[in-house]
Each structure stands twice: as C-alpha cells, then as structure tokens.
A and B are shown apart, each in its own frame.
Chain A
Amino acid sequence: MSQDKAATTTTPKTTGHNWDGIEEYTNPLPTWWIWGFYITFIFTVVYWLFYPAWPIGDKFTKGIPGLHTITYKATTVDGKEVEKTTHWNMRSKFMHEMNEMEGVQKQWFDKVAAMSFADVSKDAELMQFVNSAGKTLFSDNCAPCHQAGGQGKIAFSPNLTDDHWQFGGTYDEIQQTINHGRKGFMPAFKEVLNEQQITQLANYVLSLSGEPHDAAFATAGAQLFKSEDAGCYYCHGENAKGNTQMGSANLTDKIWLWADVPGKATQESKLAEVKKVISGGLDRGVMPAWGGRLKPEQIKLLTVYVHDSLGGGK
C-alpha cells in the first residue's frame, strides 16, 4: 500500500533547538535495541552470581559460593589422587573435561591392558586407537628426542622406524626399555690406542658396512678388533654384530647412530666421523625411565605403537 506509506511519511521530530538553522533530530533508538541493552544489564548480574567477575586487589569475586562449582580429580605432586571442588574457573573446567575424556578412553586402555601384545597387534580396530592415542603419547613424551615421527637424529637419538634395535626389538624388550630407561656407553679409545690404530679400526668398521675404505688399513683393523689391545669384540662381538643385552651396536649393518657416515660425502669425512666415536667414546646414550611417570597401560600402548605403528619392531 504505497499510497498509505507515502501519506504517513512524516517529518522527523527535532529537539526544538535551532542554531543558525541547524537542528537536531530526536530519533529515539529502536525499542528492541533498548531492550537488548537492558538485557545485558540483567545478564551482567546473573553472570556475576555464577562466575568470577570483579577484581579486588590481587583477589577477585568468585561468584556466590556453592552456586556454580566444578569438581575434578587431580594427582598431587607426591602422587596422591585427590578430588577437588572449587568455584567455576577455566582451569578446573579444563581438568574436569580431561577427567571426562580419560573416562571415554578408559575402555580402550583397559582393553589394551587386558590383551597380550600379539593380540592387540592382530586387532585392526584396536590398532586404530593405538595409532591415534600412541601418536599423542609419543608426541608429548618421546618426540623431543626421537622426533615427531620417531625417525630419531643421528648422533643424538636412535631411529625407531628402522629395523635395528640397540636394546632389542621384541614387545617385551621395548616395554623394558620404556619402563626402566637405557644407558649406552663406550669408552674413549684415544687413551689406549694411537692415531694409526684408530684409523685402522675405523677403516675396518667402514668395510663392515660396505662403505668406501682403505683395504690394507681395514685388514689391520680387523686384527686389532679381535685383539686384546683394543678389545672391541668384548662388547661388539667377534662378528661385530653387537649385543642387544648391553646395547652395543651392530657394526655390520647400514644403520648408523653416532657416526654420521650416510650424511658425509667423501671417504675422508666418513672416516673422520667413525674415528671421532672410537677415540672419544660415548657417554650420552641415555634414555630416561618412564615407569612411574606414565601409567602402565600407557606404556603398554606405547610399546605396541613403537613396535607396530612406527614399524621398526621386526
């Protein structure tokens, strides 16, 4: 009804003030808007009753006591499980939600805890949980040394995705490693061997992995390896294949942990890497113990994750 509309189009009201012909409208705010404004007042009061609101010095109002509380379970520094009830706050809410999530995950962790390693790895659906929960546990606890994907870092931490295991790659051995930690040690040979002997040994070690080497030095090195002078075979074995019981490296495979042989281009630099390890020895291969820090079922799940998902455990 455009005619009606036209008829009711009115001149807006003014305040009645007139300054050199300049007038001021008195258009009131829309009613719904005003009411929205009033509702925010009411909201403020309700909010204040329920939530922390007013800062008072270094304290603050916590809402009406007992009206809006959060209960959560937490572990104290000395390992005691306590249940706390506090006024509403973000941290408690977070803790409460974490408790809830633990409850949701519990059935899966219980399942993993109740089954043997082999049975877990045969259950394709359970392995999906191992993959996702294991990835989180691994990222939170293991990744700082072993890197996000478990690929490790040469001269720092072992690669968990290859098929070589310093301390053994069965489920039980991996669980043992995580629970109690490991410490690798190799004495420094610069005290007992001269420069030439170390060069000979290094050439022998390179020859074992099929790396470029000096054959004459390597033959001499082989003698030295098995001799009482150097005594390498004590730990690395007669055949240089190492010993998972004490964590001595297998020197015959293509995998390097401490000497960055694959990362060097020339024969000299590869040799220098190996010589560095032989002369200086090793005293940093420390893996901390996670037993007590992680729950047993978490360690069990991590064991399966490392063995099957990262894929090295064969």
Chain B
Amino acid sequence: MEATSPASPVKKPSPLLNRQIPIVTRSVKGKFRTFKTAVMVIAYSVYFLLPWMPWERSNAASQALMFDLESRRFFIFNLVVYPQDIFWLAMLLFIAAALLFFTTGLIGRAWCGYFCFQTLWTDLFIMIERLIQGERPARLRLIKQPWNAEKILKLGGSHFLMILVSFWTGVTFAAYFTYAPDFVHNLFTGHAAEAGYITVVVLTITTYVAAGLSREHICTLACPYARFQGVMYEPDTLAVAYDVRRGEGTAGRIAPGKGLRTREERQAQGHGDCIDCGFCVQVCPTGIDIRDGLQYQCISCGLCIDACNNIMDSVGSPRGLIRYDSEQNIASPVPHKPRLEWKRPKVLGYAASLVIASIILFYNIGTRSDTEANVQQVRQPLFVMLSDGSVRNRYQVNIINKTEHEQRYYLKVQGIPAESLDLGNIPEIRVRAGKTLSLNAKVDLTSEQAKMTKQFSFVVTPTIAEAEPVVVKTNFHSH
C-alpha cells in the first residue's frame, strides 16, 4: 500500500471475489440455432437409443454396441475389440485430438459450440427451463420474486425434470457396458451390480451439477480446452467476431433515438450500426459481450450471430455485424467476404496427421487377424543343458482366438527340426471363443544345432481351410 494514501480502500478487487450472477438466456431463432438443435437431436438419438439396438451374436449379449468389461471385449457392431487392440484406442484418441486441432485451426471452437456434451446438456436444460418457467423476462421475474407456490412449483419442476434427464443419462451410460434390457430391469428391481448403481448415481449427480447448476463455469473454470485453444488460433482462423468498425463507427454505438433511426442518419453523425440492444449478450450461454472481442469464455455457438442478424433485419441494416470471420479480415482496410483460409501450414499439418492416423487405424482394423499369438521365452533359466549335451529353451506360447466360436490350432516350428518342439501331453490345441490359451512349449536342439540357431519361429495355424498362419519369431539361447 502506498505511503501517501494510508487509508485508501481496495479499488480493484480480484475477479475471484465477484458474486456469480446466474445467466438467464433469451431464446433466439436463426440458422445457428437450427444447426445446434439438429446436432442435438441427432446426438441425443444416437446416445440414448444406441444401447437398445439389437445385433445377432452367437456367444454374447445381442447388443450392437457393448463394452463388455467383464469378458474384456468391446462389441462394436461386427467388430470385436480385445485388450490387445489397445493400440486402436491410442490411434482413436490421436485422431480425435488431430480432428479437434484441425477444426479449431480452421473455424475455431466448433466442438465447444455445437458438439460438446457440456454444451448439449446445458442447452437441453435451458430448454427445459424455458418450457416450464417461460422466456427470459419471466424467468428473471421468477428469480426475483419471493418464494411462493408458483416459484417452488416452476423451479422445482424444472430441476426435477433436469434430474430425471440426468438419471436417464446415467442409466444409458451404464447400459453401454452391459446388456441394456436386463440392466434396466435389474436396476429397478434392485438386482443390478453394485458398479451399475454407482455409475448411475455418479453420472446422475455429475450431469445434473455440470449442466444444471455449474453450466458455463465448467467451460470457463474447469475445461482445459478453453485455456489452450489460444495456441491453435491464428489470424486467419474463423471465429465469432463483432465488426468493431462497422458497429461503432467513429462516435461509438448508440441506441436508436430521435434523428438516429435510419442507417444514413446514424452514419452521418458517425455512429455505427450497433444499436446497443444487448440481445447478443442476453442470448449468450456464457454471459459474455462478444463486442469486447475474442474471449476465452466464448464457446463459438453462434447464437449472438443469430440474435444480431434478426435485429439487423428489423432495423434494415445488412446482416453480419456479428459474424464468423477472421481477425485478419476484420482488421484489413477492405474486408472481403469471410472465407475458409485453409492453405496454412498448421491446418495442412493437422489435416495430414489426421489422414495418416485414420489410414493407419482403418488399415489395421481391416487387416486384423482372427488368430493372435505371442511368445514369451522363459528366462529362469534362459537355457538348460540336458544329459546328452543338447540344449533346451522353454517358451510360453499364448494363442488368442478372436473368433466367435471354439477353434482348433496347429502349433509348429519353422527354421528348426519339427521334432524339436515338445508340448508335453497336450493332445490338441483348442481355444474357446474370445479366450487365450497359454501353452508350455519346450524346444530341444542338439549342441550342433544349438550353435547354429539364433532365431526360429513358432507357426500357429487354425485348422480351418484357407486360414492364414501366424508366425512369431523368437530367440534361441545356448550360451
């Protein structure tokens, strides 16, 4: 504190001390709202209905999409994913990241504005509020009025609906991990697994708290993406932007009044097109003023564009005072029509990594084998000298049957005499559907053979016709 003003009050308190104002948004019509609603309908249809889609399966629950943790298999339509395929998950995550960066570099936070589940559920919950409590003025009035029957009924009703939606969100989530019809039945009769109840309760609470109570605070305070989006934005990136020069003119924005009604009158006095109606602020789900410029709170949902366009239409000004445009273009002396500027190293780099990763993933899935085998050499001891001087190495051979039925296999060796392989007393190798069988394999080579052999291969062949053998190379140690 400065010595000259010993008792001066704290002038600028930290923003953390601000009381948070609940955001009550006004609804709006327009193309971005329509797009958001369309995305919402599709996303919810997929999310809520997919676990109920039947799919014929011989040895597992007939559910099209099921992440069966108990049997360690993910059923994705006709694709069965095993833990060994964890590489696919890594590729999928990489593709998701590349897609996110690519889109952000090109058109900003499209994910946040239209697709993120936080946005979708918040949007739905705001719709529920509007349905029960009415439009923004009615809701504001309701907040201010004392607690009476109407307020209790309306607020309670909308929160009850939100909790109901949250609950069904949790139930649906859990249904992806088990056979949905049985699960839902067991859930209500009290026979579902403990993990099922925990999942439903946790998902219900988190959904309700995140989308019903916290809302934009999740985006502004909790979500890391909002904070690192800045590194992906470039001057050419399209973002929701307010055309400051057009809106403010030289004398600033002003509400229409006497002598300021037409565009010509306003321009003559140096005022811009913005009539300071505040609709862009009222519709914003994160409660910001887009006219202050690009902010980390902006989730790029485009609702302020819809709101502003409607106002511009009604006052007779051209649309696009708030629009998707690049920082560069808005600042240029003669802005051109906003367009996608994709010929940039960053965007092309993201696109290239996206394409390469997708090709690798799909190639890998497309060429997957129904049989997988791996070999672990027994290392204690690495090799054994036998009584006649020959050398024994031992291996654990794991055969994974990825088909949907029991399968027999031949196990042979390649590069060394066939009779040097000893599988003990196992008469034939049978592996159940989706299971792994590990076998003790001994390989004995005479001391001469052992000296010449550094490597050989195990060959696993399913007994069915036209089956591709799986060859696994391994080492042979003799000293």
Which A residues contact B (CB, under 8 angstroms)?
1-5, 8-12, 18, 20-22, 27, 118, 121-122, 124-125, 127-128, 131, 147-151, 159, 161-164, 210, 250, 253-255, 262, 308-309, 311, 314
Contact = CB atoms under 8 A, between A and B. Distances in A.
Nearest to B13: A12
Contact of A124 (B23, B430, B442): B430
A9 B287 contact: no
A21 B388 contact: no
B408 to A, nearest CB: 11
Given A1-B21, A162-B385, A163-B386, 15 more contacts: A1-B23, A9-B18, A10-B13, A11-B9, A21-B6, A21-B8, A22-B1, A122-B425, A124-B429, A128-B438, A131-B438, A147-B380, A148-B380, A210-B389, A254-B388
Which 9 interchain pairs have the tightest Cβ spacing? A149-B380, A253-B387, A21-B6, A151-B381, A121-B425, A254-B389, A122-B425, A162-B384, A161-B384
Give the interface centre of A22, A128, A250 by most chain B CB atoms within 10 Å: A128
A11 B10 contact: yes
B426 interface: yes
Interface string B7-46: 1111001010111010100000000000000000000000
B289 interface: yes
Contacts of B389: 210, 254
B13 A8 contact: no
Dominant secondary structure of chain B at its interface with chain A: loop
A12 B10 contact: yes
A164 B288 CA distance: 83
A21 B392 contact: no
Contacts of B288: 2
B277 interface: no
A164 B426 contact: no
A164 B392 CA distance: 13
Contacts of A125: 437
Contacts of A127: 424, 426, 439-440
Contacts of A11: 9-10, 13
A254 B386 contact: yes
A18 B430 CA distance: 85
B28 to A, nearest CB: 16
B425 A254 contact: no
A151 B440 contact: no
A149 B17 contact: no
A5 B438 CA distance: 66
Contacts of A131: 396, 438, 440
B21 A250 contact: no
A52 B433 CA distance: 48
A84 to B, nearest CB: 27
Contacts of B10: 11-12
Nearest to B440: A309
Contacts of B422: 314
A9 B13 CA distance: 8
Give the interface centre of B288, B385, B438, B439 by most chain A CB atoms within 10 Å: B385
A124 B439 contact: yes
B378 interface: yes
A2 B287 contact: yes
Interface in B414-456: 422, 424-427, 429-430, 437-440, 442
Contacts, number: 112
B329 to A, nearest CB: 26
Interface residues of B, number: 45
Contacts of A250: 387
Contacts of A121: 424-426
A27 B14 CA distance: 12
B264 interface: no
Given A128-B438, A131-B440, A151 B13 contact: no
B385 A1 contact: no
A118 B381 CA distance: 25
B292 interface: yes
B427 A122 contact: yes
A89 to B, nearest CB: 24
A132 to B, nearest CB: 9
25 contacts: A1-B23, A1-B282, A1-B287, A3-B289, A4-B21, A5-B287, A9-B18, A11-B9, A12-B10, A12-B13, A121-B425, A122-B427, A124-B439, A131-B438, A149-B378, A149-B380, A151-B380, A161-B392, A162-B387, A163-B386, A210-B389, A250-B387, A253-B388, A311-B424, A311-B442
A259 B19 CA distance: 85
A124 B437 contact: yes
B394 interface: yes
A60 to B, nearest CB: 31
B66 interface: no
Contacts of A164: 386-387
Interface in B325-383: 378-381
Nearest to B22: A1
A128 B387 CA distance: 28
A308 B425 contact: yes
B385 A5 contact: no
A311 B423 CA distance: 10
B281 interface: yes
Contacts of B17: 9-10, 12, 27
A255 to B, nearest CB: 5
B446 to A, nearest CB: 12
Contacts of A4: 21
